[in-house]
Chain A
Amino acid sequence: MSALAAPAVHRGHAEAAAGFLVDAARAAWHDQSLWFMRQKRDRGTALPEWESLRLAGSALKAHAMSRLADLLEEFERRAIANGVVVHWARDVAEHNAIVLGILHTAGVTRVSKSKSMLTEECGLNPFLEARGIEVVDTDLGERIVQLAKEPPSHIVIPAIHWKREEIGALFHRTMGTPAGEMSPDALAAAARVHLRDALMHAGAGITGANALVAETGGVVVCTNEGNADLGMHSAPIHIACVGLEKIIATRDDLGVLLRLLARSGTGQPVTAYTTHVASPRPGAAMHVVLVDNGRTKRLADKAMRTALHCIRCGACLNTCPVYRRSGGYSYGHVIQGPIGAILAPAVNLDAHHELPFASTLCGSCADVCPVRIDIPAQLLAWRARSAAAGMLPRGYSTIFPLLGWVLSRLSRFECAARWARRVQRLIPASWLSGRWNPWTRPGRTLPVIADESFREWARREEGRS
């Protein structure tokens, strides 16, 4: 088990993050790993037309959402004509039952699976395993967390929280690599043999999809490892499990999306493998399972609708100062980071009401989002909904009304600030930075409030001239 194992019962973001931060060196390492990704993204997106591409990305998604039903019907019509079986699932239970049904009918007991956040959302692995079907996750990062019986801690880099020596120990135990072996080349080579065997001998290959193209009826899958292709083109059955918001109208739209996706996620100009598959190979079968599971409800929620535009690039996770310093498991949701913090409350506000507060509202997520989702606006809107539902985190419900009262009138604010300056001078700094104060830690003290406010200074300067 890694030191950052997912808690069995989620404790709320703040508490889980505090646990993550106990190992300060490891938290700093995690922070730097993600910042490295953000820097790669910055280099990868240095195109003159980047901002117009983002505008096009936002527009093509808004267009697709405005014609969602028509596009899904168009996709279905073409896919059926191409020899693909199209299934519709309202929820997790229907999705899992459809997949199980396909596998049972074909007598499949071993499946390979490439990365799919949708199947994580649906808990497909435990569902199939409980029914005697072996599932091998074939993305290397996902295989690492699967072998460790953990969920992914990042939507693009599932094992970002694992150190090489821990992966070495895990592979020694599960794949028989030499004890102490921790070179990424050697470990990846061992995984190649292990995973190829699973991929070439599975009865079905399950994949997600990065996009469905209505114009072609095609399913688009992007990977760097090539595992999705080994799976879908080797097994007699390919099942693509897809959230229905993945639909886009045209191939032109796909061109924009592909230019945005990998650059935003890893800084690559495109993934090593971009597969557009529209029909099964001769003698094989292809299924597409279109999944709602709350997406149509989201679509009807005007203020929160654009969260459906997300293309799961991971850029907002990599840039988020809170994600980087609290780790994926502190979110307690299948999608982590800023986008997770606006998706999760729609699934269950009661369970996830704390997540919209796991943000400084610095806006970096919106700046890097390739489809320009205004994540901070939705974080704020979810905070308002938590407040309206009486679910403010502990302490907030007393502080916020008081703060609102003070801040809503300039005279009250100035009076409060004047008193705060006086009082702070009377209190010893060591006490102000004491253990009772959640804003301070060893090495991080409260700044001293200036002797006068900016307004006071300006009035004084004006009087002087």
Chain B
Amino acid sequence: MTARDAILSAIRAAAVPAAPPAHLPPTPTAPIDDLCDAFLRVLTEVGGQGVVRTDGQPMDSLIAELLGPDRQHAIVVRGRFAVAENAAVYVDAADLSARNDIVRAEHLVVIVPFSAIVPTMHEAMRLMPAHSACGWFLSGPSKTADIEQSLVFGAQGSRTHRVVFDRGT
């Protein structure tokens, strides 16, 4: 008997009684501006920085201004949507030239459509592409607290993490 068959038959022999799927708590809803405010507040708490681009601001100059001297070692990527409760932005590997861009970059900028902010991870899960090869929820820069629980940003991935909500037309 292969290991696979032995394991599967041991599981079936355990005869665990049926248990229903989880019932998800009801999802709170909120106006998009409130979601954006919540996102930006949490983003600051997790060590990131966020701005909203409005009509008339060219994206390039906004990013250049946002990055300042960090521009030299920055990678700008597209995010599909954002999650207000935890300041996570979803980035899919299909939008990157290399998967490790998101961690290799010293400074990361993620541009997300303003209209694509959802309240919690429940809605976020439904927005994930159905057949994504690889995707990330990124919330703030790389960090560690492994040395006496002192929070240090830029542990191994990006040192800084910036999110631009694109509200322009």
Contacts and interface: CB of A to CB of B under 8 A. Distances in A.
Interface of A: 33, 36-37, 49, 52-53, 55-57, 59-60, 62-63, 65-69, 72-73, 82, 88-90, 94, 138-141, 144, 157-160, 162-164, 167, 184-185, 187-189, 191-192, 195-196, 199, 216, 218, 224-227, 229-230, 233-234, 244, 249-256, 258-259, 266, 268-279, 281, 290, 292, 296-297, 299-300, 305
A192 B153 CA distance: 11
A305 B87 contact: no
Given A188-B155, A229-B102, A281-B99, 19 more contacts: A57-B22, A59-B20, A66-B19, A73-B8, A141-B144, A141-B146, A189-B154, A225-B144, A225-B155, A226-B142, A253-B21, A269-B86, A274-B139, A275-B134, A278-B131, A281-B134, A296-B7, A299-B11, A300-B15
B30 to A, nearest CB: 13
Contacts of A160: 149
Nearest to A144: B146
B157 interface: yes
Interface stretch (B51-59, B66-74, B109-117, B119-127): B119-127
B98 to A, nearest CB: 7
A195 B156 CA distance: 8
Contacts of B128: 251, 276
Contacts of A244: 7
Contact of B25 (A56, A65, A69): A56
A33 B149 contact: yes
B135 interface: yes
B61 interface: no
B49 interface: no
19 contacts: A33-B149, A56-B24, A59-B20, A65-B16, A66-B18, A67-B18, A69-B11, A94-B3, A157-B146, A224-B143, A225-B156, A229-B103, A234-B100, A244-B7, A252-B122, A270-B137, A276-B132, A278-B131, A300-B14
A160 B136 CA distance: 28
A273 B136 contact: yes
B122 to A, nearest CB: 5
B88 A281 contact: no
A225 B20 CA distance: 36
A218 B143 CA distance: 25
A194 to B, nearest CB: 10
Secondary structure type dominating chain B contacts: loop
A218 B130 CA distance: 11
A229 B155 contact: no
Contacts of A270: 83, 86, 88, 121, 137, 139
Nearest to B21: A63
Contacts of A296: 7, 10-11, 14
Contacts of A164: 147-148, 150
Secondary structure type dominating chain A contacts: helix
Contact of A68 (B16, B122, B150): B16
A233 B98 contact: yes
A206 to B, nearest CB: 16
Contacts of B155: 140, 188, 191-192, 224-227
A226 B149 contact: no
B86 A192 contact: no
A266 B6 CA distance: 38
B25 to A, nearest CB: 4
Contacts of A227: 155-157
Q: How large is the interface on B (under 10, 10 to 19, 20 to 34, 35 or more residues)?
A: 35 or more
Contacts of A225: 142-144, 155-157
B143 A275 contact: no
B147 A140 contact: yes
B7 A88 contact: yes
Contacts of A62: 19
Given A69-B12, A255-B121, A279 B88 contact: no
Nearest to B143: A224
Interface centre among B124, B125, B148, B150 (most CB of A within 10 A): B148
B120 A226 contact: no
Given A258-B121, A270-B139, A281-B99, A230 B157 contact: yes
Given A226-B157, A255-B124, A270-B86, A72 B25 contact: no
Pairs of residues from A and B, 8 with the lowest C-beta to C-beta distance, nearest first = A226-B157, A269-B86, A141-B146, A296-B10, A60-B22, A184-B150, A233-B99, A52-B25
B125 A251 contact: yes
Contacts of B98: 233, 281
B146 A140 contact: yes
Interface centre among B16, B23, B103, B140 (most CB of A within 10 A): B103
B71 to A, nearest CB: 21
A253 B126 CA distance: 11
B113 to A, nearest CB: 20
Contacts of A277: 133-134
Contacts of B132: 216, 218, 276, 278
Nearest to B102: A229
Contact of A226 (B14, B135, B158): B158
Interface in B1-46: 2-4, 6-8, 10-26, 28, 42, 46
B85 interface: yes
B133 A281 contact: yes
A244 B132 CA distance: 23
A234 B28 CA distance: 39
Contacts of A89: 3
B76 interface: no
A253 B93 CA distance: 22
B79 interface: no
Contacts of B16: 65-66, 68, 299, 305
A271 B142 CA distance: 9
